[in-house]
Chains A and B, each alone.
Chain A
Amino acid sequence: GDSVIQMQGQVTLSENDFLFINCTYSTTGYPTLFWYVQYSGEGPQLLLQVTTANNKGSSRGFEATYDKGTTSFHLQKTSVQEIDSAVYYCAMSHNNAGAKLTFGGGTRLTVRP
């Protein structure tokens, strides 16, 4: 079946550090891939999405590349800030699946000032 794996449960960085959050997926075909960010007490917010293999999505300094070869969609940011502290979820969806998303387990990012 479909699955999304985020190996890192927690990541702790200092401000201006480089961020890398791992995400791999398993499915058939070419899903749409997403990154969501969830702040404490709120629902997940769409950070970026990519629908086409080998394309890159970017938003607010974050970027992720849809790598069909390695079935990965890692999230990166050159210089994190304290306000980036949140839980980040990788997710995927097939175009004919409606609003059904398959989520990874989430990665809690803590950025120290």
Chain B
Amino acid sequence: GALVYQYPRRTICKSGTSMRMECQAVGFQATSVAWYRQSPQKTFELIALSTVNSAIKYEQNFTQEKFPISHPNLSFSSMTVLNAYLEDRGLYLCGVRQGAYEQYFGPGTRLTVL
């Protein structure tokens, strides 16, 4: 079956530093990858959407300069949180769409900023 892995599962970084997280789809080829942030008191905030053969599209309040994303092939994506601060803490989720409808999430990377 379809599986989505995310690495690392948890990370702690000092304020002002950066950290990179990865997302790997196993058993299927992703047609689209979306990165979300789930903050403690909020539902899911869409950061950016990456679709095969299209430019990565960032949502309002999120920029490529702050959250650069790499999507080199159909099964792998990575995102970096640059200059992380307290408001960047949360659970970062990778959502991967297979075909036209099914969408699966990884377990998330929990970011703590000190």
**B46 and A100 form a contact (CB under 8 A):** yes
Least distance between A84 CB and chain B CB atoms (Å): 19
Count of A residues near B, CB < 8 Å?
A: 22
**B6 and A99 form a contact (CB under 8 A):** no
Majority SS at the chain B contact face: strand
Which of chain B's residues 25-45 have a Cβ closer than 8 Å to chain A?
Answer: 30-34, 43-44
Is A46 on the interface with B (CB-CB < 8 A)?
yes
Count of B residues near A, CB < 8 Å?
A: 27
**A98 and B43 form a contact (CB under 8 A):** no
**B101 and A99 form a contact (CB under 8 A):** no
Given contacts A99-B95, A101-B34, contact A106 B43 (CB under 8 A): yes
**Nearest-CB residue, chain B, relative to A46:** B104
Q: Per a CB cutoff under 8 Å, which of B33, B91, B107 touches A99?
A: B33
Least distance between B53 CB and chain A CB atoms (Å): 11
Q: Residues on B close to A: CB < 8 A?
A: 4, 6, 30-34, 43-44, 46, 49-51, 91, 93, 95-97, 100-108
